[in-house]
Structure 1
Amino acid sequence: MTSPLGNKQETQSLSPPSFFLGIVKQVLAGDTIVIRDRPIDGPPPERIIVLSNISCGRVARRPTSGYPTGTPEDPFAWEAREFSRTLLIGKEVCYSVETELPSGRKYGCVYIGKSTNGENVALSLIEHGLAEVRKLSPTIADKNKMYQQLVTAQDHAKSLGKGRWSSNSAVTRNIIWSVEDTRSFFEKYKNQPLRAVVESVRDGCSVQVFILPESLSEKPNTFVYLTVTMTGIKSPSTRYENGKLVAEPWGLDAQFFTESRLLQRDVTILLESIFNQNFVGSILHPNGNIAELLLRQGLARCIDWYLNLVSIPGAAEAYKAAEKFAKEKRMRLWENYQPTQAMEVHVDSVKTIVPGKVFNGFICEVGNGDNVSIKCSDGVHKLFLSSIRAPRPQIGNKEEENTVQRDRIRPLYDIPYMFEAREILRQFVGKHVTAQVDYIQPKTSNTVDERVCATVRADDVNLALLLVSKGLASVIRYRNSSDPRTVYYSELLAAEEDAQSKGFGMYCKQDPPIHRVADLTGNVAKSRQFLSFLQRTERLDGVVEFVFSASRYRIYIPRETCIITLLLGGIQCPRRGRIGPDGITLPDMPFSNEAYTFAKELCMQRNVEVKVETIDRVGNFVGWLFLDIPSTGQNNEPDTNKPLNKKKKKKTTDITSVRQKANLSLLLISHGFGTVHRAPATERSPYYHDMIKAEEDAKINQCGLWSSDQFVKEWEAEVQNNSDPTALNGAEDGNPISLTGFSEYLDDLSELQINENGDTTNENNGGTTKQLSWKPAQITGISKPASGSQGLRFFAQHLSDACTLVKISQTLNSHSFPPFPPEYYPKKGSICIACFSLDNCWYRARVIRSSPKSVAVQFIDFGNEEVIDAAEYSSRLSPLPASPLLQLPPQVKEYRLAFVQLPPDSTDRAFAERAFCNLVENKEVRLAIQYESVPCGNETVKPVPAVTLLLPVADINTSGSSVCSNDVDISESLLSNGLVCVEPIQPQFLKRLPRQLLHKYLDAQALAKKERKNIWQYGDFRADVDQL
């Protein structure tokens, strides 16, 4: 006998037949057998032999792309396959190759044993009625003695009614090739012993099996086809790429090891988990546990996060011991293994963040369901919870997707169950935790920076496990078993399965909770609608969602389901650094960051109480914030040294020890992080005297701001001038907040009952008139804010800056700029250069609006705006190169007409603006500032300087900055024509203004009103405006 390794010649007929020895690897059908040689330095070659002269029928095959319904099964084909499998699998046989077709198909005889004296497999199949003899021509049949034996055996089987010759020959299997509901199937048969036959081996630790009918409570004769991965281990993979077999090192050896012991053997399956819709379980063979053998041979490694799922008692410890044995022997996968010295990493010993680093601190902020910020001795660290994912948005169709993209996205409230997940984590704000870094996730296209992922524990509570167990987070499914993850990954999977089975959180079959929250930030009209609802309750419960500064907070009010911006009343705090209107970064004021940190640690994401007093001109609410008094020197940690057998005292309630809420304004003042705002509204509040006392104490103790001598001097000078109506209340951002509002519209100054003799600067009283600085200027355009403006605003260039403007234009247009950089994206607020469409010249510009399709820019030296499409970026837009032009301030300034207010009707406003343009277009005017930083009426945009414009008459020759009595006052002209009205002014503010000018404007308005010109044609409209 010879080995098939040496027989490589393919012929159609081999006579006399050659006999070979081999081991049966697999039985594909009753008459088709896969035979391999003995292994020598790796997996051995194989040969498929079809038994000559008989046919057993085709066994069913699973559906493929070419056969969507699969291949049907012939009657008794499965019984024949099982007969041959039971008879031959794993046994040594003697076989011949009698005929080999051009297609490579080989026919021959197979005998059990090492010689032809053994049992003839084909003859046994015929005798049991599981095969049928093929018909041959009489000439060939008479010469073939084996064929005659087959025919005689078939006649005998027919006479006895065996197998396919019986009356029930039409019985076939019912096969479930793919389980549709894997979760239900798993829950039904979890940890139950299932008898199965291994059909194929994908790699060393993954097999495909047929679950036999006796183990299932399904229909009779039902077989279920499953893919099962061994629990707790991972072996090198083997896969096909472009029709070629690709294997990792030792992958083929691991596959052969499992094939030679399990392929087509009877095994017992214990389903223990589900991973990526594949079943995970233990595979038991009468001769032992194949997973332990793979580990012992160095053909697999333990997966720690997977190992805890093994349900066999003592198996996990046995796996670790087997892996340790292979490591010590340097077997296969561990041939280059070097034991490492365990080293504990502490935060104090390592400056950089690496896996294994331990943080100890308290949670100061939580994210939207999957991250927390921990304050430690070396700073604040943002950590993401390992191996979990926060709830995701569920977009059903394109129409809904477009709606989501169009509306304002608020993930915390819009994404189902994200708010509930955040609330679970918010319970731990301020609590001491321990976090150990598991891995660092590199930066991806969806993340701004790399993420430090860690396991965070508060006492015995694993935060990630808590979220998953409540159905408020999902466990990440990793593609590769080598991907880093938390050591508690198996517990997370088990908790997720439990939450799914119980219908918790995201797995609840009912509709998810909906949080319809009104975001009032920046919406003036809506904020005014909510004001009465917020004022009618003495104190409202709220949650601080964000801390802008020590005196500005974003707060969620559950009762009114709204989000507001709250400015603290009665206090002035130092401003933090910010970007100014000209794009220049303004520095931090002293102690601004200390005040911000103090307030954030006290308030961020804490439960507070809010008392709303009023609203400012931009829709921010002004009021008071109350929170729990922070503990001082009390130890809230459990006493671990306390004797366990000591009798506990009966707990009693002391009504005198109820903790009161602290006024945050008072706390900030007492620590020197703010000063009392001395205004009538503050003086009328019940907290004014307490704040004054706290301020005095902080001043005596030199706390915070009071430790600076320069600040003390400036504060004392400011207190002396305490009647400023534009003073700030809760002012950290420089925007004026008026708690008293503006007065009504007036037609006569006598209605205010102002003592004229008290005004020493009024010309009527014999005093000296305020000297105004008149400057020649040119109006370049009308300023039209998006909303909230009530004054007539415009842009003007001072003629004294004409030389600078010419130099800027020459510099920009005398150079050829580089092509538009592909990586350059014009962001809102950035300074660039843009080509104006009317003259194709380059000018400095600021991006005021940006979208994927276009950007809107404002030319900062002229004030006009233009929209540039994305297709024109390369020819009309470019970043401003580093040069003195980048530091040069804008050459155009925005002003408004003093004492003048535009009518509320849009048509009337357009007429007034058009008349203004006709008066000043292409003409030189004289401009003088009357007052600054005072809003016009109840406008909500940033105030600009209010000026008087004079237009020289055509027949009078004036030069320089002198003013002729015949010059036309633009404001008076508009008022006399009934195009605008006089703005309402506070009495306190009016005391400091030149009332001679205002007298003249009121007279012009009265004349237009009497003659019912333009806006006065239907009478006085201002009463309706007051009601609004």
Structure 2
Amino acid sequence: MADSAAAPVSASFALADRVGEGAVVKSATVKNVLSGDTLVVIADEDQKKGPPVDKIIALASSRAPTMGRPETRDRPATKDDPFAWQSREFLRKLVIGQRIQFITEFVDPKSGREYCSVYHKGEHVGVLMASEGWITVIPPSQKHQPRADQAEMIRLAEEAVKLNKGIHNTKERKNAVRTVSTKFSTHAFYEKHRGKLVDAVVDQVRNGSTVRVVVVGSFEYLTVRFAGVQSPFAPQGQEEPPFTREAKAIIEQVLLGRDVQLALECIDKADGVFSRVLCGGRDPAELLLQTGLARVVEWNAPKACLAKYKEIEEKAHAGRVRIWSLAQAAGPSSQKKDAGYTVGTVREITNGCGIRVVDENGKELVANLASLIIPRQTPNGDEPWSWEAKDTLRNKLMGKQVKVVLDYVRPANDQYPEKAFHSVFLGNTNVAMLLLEKGYAKLINHRQNDPRSSSYSALLNVEQKAQAKSKGVHGPADKAPAHNYTDLSRKPNVKKVQQFLHFLQQPARQTASVEYVFGGDKVKLYNEKATCMINYTLTGIRCPRNSKENPEPCAAEVVAFAKNNLLQRNVEIEAASVDKGGSVIGKLYTSNGNDFGLELVKRGFASVHGSAEKIIGSQAYFQAESQAKAGRLGIWRNWKPEDDSKQEEKEETPNNKKLEWIRIKVTEVVDGGTLYVQRLNQLSQLEKMLADINSNLPARDPHYVPAVKTMILIPFGKEYHRAKVTGISKDKKEFEVFYVDFGNYDYVPKNVILSCPAQFEKIAPFATRAELAYVIPPSLDEEFGNDAAYTVKNMVWDRDLVATIEREENGTIHVVIGDPESNSIVNNSMVHSGFCRVARTYNFKAQTRLPKLREEEEHARKAHLGIWQYGDIPDDDLDEPEMYKKK
């Protein structure tokens, strides 16, 4: 631009001469160099008036080649003029960060731009630029005489042209335009340059811990964030937090326009580069920490610098410098780390892969893995790879000791409560890496100022390797394994569970995983081979019940023991049978091969009941129970020897007045050892109830369709009786029913059914299921099964009998039945006739009964009666579940 209306012409351009002539000389510090003829300065006079203000000044009578501009959202990229970069670099290296003096020669009335004679260490900068050929000198208008400096600049520029210096080098002109790169893979850049020092020039300071640099040589424009620190800043359009401008100003002062070296540390999920930015060997991150204008960020901090950064941060915090003076400021990273440190044992992997940890004091913590997105299992369907993610943690962590480190706390908002996030370490292994390396999780793409895992950089490297191989969630969703299974645990259907029993018994011992612990002796299992979820009850034992209303003694302790040893562990099961509630019954072995039922008995956490008589190795159960009693362990803490002596039984006959016989009547025979009985002392109550029912029958509702398990009234003979619905035909016209007061089943049409009034529904059934104690009959589908049923019916039908209850289990009583008229014991008679055999039993109560039973069995065996017709029965043919057979 021509210098019209300029200051009076000077005879000399030396600074001292200009001062002597009365020129106004101002001092400033060069903050940045925009081109070969334009500077950004902070004038001394402006600093006295308040916060530093940037002033842009141009070299008078000078025109440098125009620098190109990188592409932005608002404008396309422009190219450099030839030699623009070289001209700017010459001036930048000369004056950046230096003290200068300047005299304003002209002010553009439109833009307000000042055109100045600039002096650096007494030397005229414009004259120097002209002599080196880095500017074009603008001559004065014809109306004005040239200034002394202007004349000298013209002369030197002409010499530079003759010498092909600077912008006048015609041979290099074609190669004097930079190829600027703003669109390139920062990930590839990071991989290429990590571990090396990269030379660059700071082109812009975005905020106190983020700068844009141009890489020397390749002219790649790269946004770099300081590794290990974060200064206050706010996304565009949001209110700035305190000290945001101060942090930016201090970095502009020490870095803007400076030569720096980048020591690349890591990149984040959005390919943001984190690096140490060294200027003259100094680390500006330390300056930010010292001045209280940044806090330490561990996840991207250089390992060699982290301890020093924390030390500096701690001192600033102690002195309450800047950000640490704010009331809402959290403590430094070192304090947060100490506060969030826990060592404990993993007890459960929750949905979404939360890790439930219990420390040595019993304090519980759920560790949510920081910075991870993990597939979840939901009622509406499981997300791909959710099973694999949870199984990986279950197999690796359950029962192991881990270290839990608090990384950050997500504050509460309108949608979510406050939630803490952690890094969990198994030894030296970060658990999050176990999921990422297999592709069972993704890293969260955090916003720049969001807290994140302290190991985020290392986790990102692992994720990128999984992405490269399209592992797990990084591959096609249809490649994820399908996990289709039948859930038999939610609404157990006995018949359906029985259909699966065969698969659970082939082979006899199978692997399963414990999904839930109901109590010490009942769990929910997933069996992968049979592809089913089942309820599973341990055979032969009973644990105290842990009901909310009335928990039994020691129940909570037993449940805790079971959870600590079984929950989400791999176990082995030997399924034997299915109970009437649809739960599979059998043995369960822990991962170390121990019989868990026996372990419960040893600790006094379970008592042994009669069904243990049928188990191979049942003697160990009874011995363990005796030892637990002697040691007053668990449920036996208040046990006394006389408690057992009261149960000893003397020689049994139905007429022995010293035995506690109850009078019964058999109302149904199911098989050779299973009956339904009524107590004779309750018959008058039954008759009264039936009379009340039949005198108060409800009206028939043609639209009434009772559901399964509903109590109803149906006719039998001339009277209506109570029954429960056990099955419904598809067309809902026929119902299978069970007469609860007599024990028999029947099928009835819909049109005879009446609803049962509530007052009758509440009365307990008068028929009880009973099994002959200590004996085992053949089943109905076996040879001699029907003969056994016919024989026992002949012994008990239409007779007034007596019985002793040996034990009660799940609503079934195990009894010894006697006939006072013949003075015989039905159990003994069935064995004597060869239609039952003696159960293997070590029950203390049975010891007085077994000699007579075995004597009867020996008679039947020698006489080849009933089941002994073909001689001795091999163990493999005994009517016992597979798991109870000798091996």
**TM-score bracket for the superposition, by shorter chain length:** 0.5 to 0.7
Query: Is contact 1:268–1:284 with CA below 8 Å preserved after alignment?
Result: yes
- Structure-2 change in CA distance of 1:414 and 1:260 (3 Å): closer
Residues 327 and 704 of structure 1: is their aligned pair in 2 closer, same or farther, counting only changes over 3 Å? closer
* 2:278 partner letter: L
| 1:228 lines up with 2:224 in the alignment | yes
Could you say which residue in structure 1 is the equivalent of 2:364? 381
User: For 1:184 and 1:926, how far apart are their aligned partners in 2?
Assistant: 80
- Aligned counterpart in structure 2 of residue 522 of structure 1, from 484, 490, 505: 490
Structure 1 CA distance for aligned equivalents of residues 205 and 359 of structure 2: 51
Distance 1:78 1:238, change over 3 A: farther
**What does residue range 344-743 of structure 1 map to in structure 2 within 5 Å?**
356=339, 362-367=345-350, 371-376=354-359, 378-384=361-367, 387=370, 389=372, 391-392=374-375, 408-410=380-382, 414=386, 417-426=389-398, 429=399, 431-432=400-401, 489=454, 493-494=457-458, 496-497=460-461, 500-501=464-465, 514=481, 516-520=483-487, 521-522=489-490, 524=493, 527=497, 529-577=499-547, 586-616=549-579, 619-627=582-590, 661-678=593-610, 683-698=613-628, 703-706=633-636
> Which SS does the other structure have where 1:286 is aligned?
coil
Query: Residues of 1 paired with 2:180 and 2:326: CA distance?
Result: 46
Identify the residue that residue 276 of structure 2 maps to in structure 1: 282
Q: How does 1:939-1018 map to 2 (within 5 A)?
A: none
Query: How many Å apart are 1:467 and its aligned residue?
Result: 6.3
TM-score, with structure 1 as normaliser: 0.57
Instruction: Give, in angstroms, the shift of residue 325 of structure 1.
Output: 7.4
Structure 2 CA distance for partners of 1:715 and 1:670, relative to 1, 3 Å: farther
Change (3 A) 1:408 1:304: closer
Letter in 1 for 2:516: F
The whole-number CA distance in structure 2 between the counterparts of 1:42 and 1:208 is 27
1 CA distance for matches of 2:545 and 2:324?
62
Give runs of aligned pairs for residues 807-818 of structure 1, distance below 5 A. none
Cα deviation 1:12-70 (Å, max 9, x = unaligned): 97756855332222122233221212455975222112345554344232332222x43
* Cα distance in structure 2, aligned partners of 1:505 and 1:784: 59
Deviations 1:144-191 (A, max 9, x none): 7877766666666555555267255455322222443x3332222112
Instruction: Report the CA distance between 1:202 and its aligned residue.
Output: 2.7
Is the Cα–Cα contact under 8 Å of residues 417 and 506 in structure 1 kept in the other structure?
no
Q: Distance in 1 between matches of 2:648 and 2:750?
A: 39
Pairing partner for 1:905 from 730, 746, 754: 730
Matching residue within 17, 40, 44 for 2:52: 44
Gap change, CA 1:424 and 1:715, over 3 Å in 2: farther
* CA distance 1:392–1:161, shift in 2 (3 Å): farther
Q: Deviations over 1:496-519 (max 9, x none)?
A: 425644779996766676362525
- Distance between the aligned counterparts of 1:341 and 1:170, measured in 2? 57
The answer (yes or no) to whether the contact 1:369–1:422 under 8 Å persists in 2 is no
From the superposition, tell whether residues 459 and 50 of structure 1 become closer, same or farther in structure 2 (CA, over 3 Å): closer
**For structure 1, which segment, 925-934 or 415-424, has the greater mean C-alpha deviation from structure 2 after superposition?**
925-934
What whole-Å deviation, never above 9, does each CA across 1:82-108 have from its counterpart, x for those lacking one? 233233322333334444445544141
Q: Which has the larger radius of gyration?
A: 2
Match of 2:64 in 1: 56
Per-residue deviation at 1:271? 0.6
C-alpha displacement at 1:209, in angstroms? 0.7
Cα deviation for residue 131 of structure 1 reads 3.9
The Cα of 1:360 is off from its aligned counterpart by 5.8
Deviates more, 1:142-151 or 1:93-102: 142-151
Query: Residue 9 of structure 1 corresponds to which residue in structure 2?
Result: none
For residues 920 and 49 of structure 1, do their structure 2 counterparts lie closer, same or farther at Cα, with a shift above 3 Å needed? same
Check whether the contact 1:133–1:150 (CA below 8 A) recurs between aligned residues. no
* CA distance in 1: counterparts of 2:78 and 2:112, whole angstroms: 20
Q: Kindly indicate whether the alpha-carbon contact (under 8 Å) linking 2:33 and 2:96 is maintained by their aligned counterparts in 1.
A: yes
Which secondary structure does the structure 2 equivalent of 1:288 belong to?
Answer: coil
Q: 1:327 to 1:700 in 2, by over 3 A?
A: closer
- Structure 2, unmatched stretches of 5+, are 9-22, 651-666, 715-719, 738-746, 770-788, 800-887
| Alpha-carbon spacing, 1:904–1:714, altered in 2? closer, same or farther (3 Å) | farther
Deviation of the 1:417 alpha carbon: 3.2
Q: 1:226–1:597: structure 2 CA closer, same or farther, 3 Å change rule?
A: same
Q: 1:269 to 1:33 in 2, by over 3 A?
A: same
Q: Is the 8 A contact 2:519 2:559 kept in 1?
A: yes
Partner of 1:112: 119
1:87 aligns with 2:111: no
> How far has the Cα of 1:610 moved from its partner?
0.4
SS across alignment from 1:421: helix
d(CA) in 2 for partners of 1:756, 1:432: 53
Counterpart Cα distance in 1 of 2:343 and 2:151? 86
Q: For structure 1, list consecutive stretches of 5 or more residues without a partner in the other structure.
A: 1-11, 214-221, 346-352, 394-403, 579-585, 630-660, 721-747, 797-894, 937-984, 996-1028
Taking the TM superposition and a 5 Å limit, the aligned residue runs for 1:22-37 are: 22-37=28-43
Residue 409 of structure 1, CA deviation: 3.9
CA distance in 2, matches of 1:481, 1:493: 15
Equivalent-residue separation in structure 2 for 1:322 and 1:256 (angstroms): 20
3-state SS, counterpart of residue 594 of structure 2: strand
Which one of 189, 193, 212 corresponds to residue 208 of structure 1? 212
Quote the offset at 1:199 in angstroms.
Answer: 0.7
Q: C-alpha distance in 2, partners of 1:72/1:715?
A: 105
User: How far apart are the structure 2 equivalents of 1:13 and 1:988?
Assistant: 132
Match of 1:176 in 2: 181
Q: CA deviation at 1:118?
A: 1.9
CA distance in 1, matches of 2:518, 2:671: 40
- 1:547–1:783 Cα change, 3 Å: farther
Kindly indicate whether the alpha-carbon contact (under 8 Å) linking 1:368 and 1:421 is maintained by their aligned counterparts in 2.
Answer: no
CA deviation digits over 1:949-993, x for unaligned, max 9? xxxxxxxxxxxxxxxxxxxxxxxxxxxxxxxxxxxx999999999
CA RMSD across the alignment: 5.7
Instruction: In structure 2, give the amino acid aligned to 1:774.
Output: D
In the other structure, the counterpart of 1:264 is 257
Amino acid in structure 2 at the alignment position of 1:286: G
Letter in 1 for 2:73: S
| CA pair 498-132 structure 1, distance change in 2 beyond 3 A | farther
> When the two structures are superposed, what TM-score results if normalisation uses the length of structure 2?
0.65
Tell me how far apart the structure 2 counterparts of residues 354 and 129 of structure 1 sit (CA, whole Å). Answer: 55
Amino acid in structure 2 at the alignment position of 1:424: K
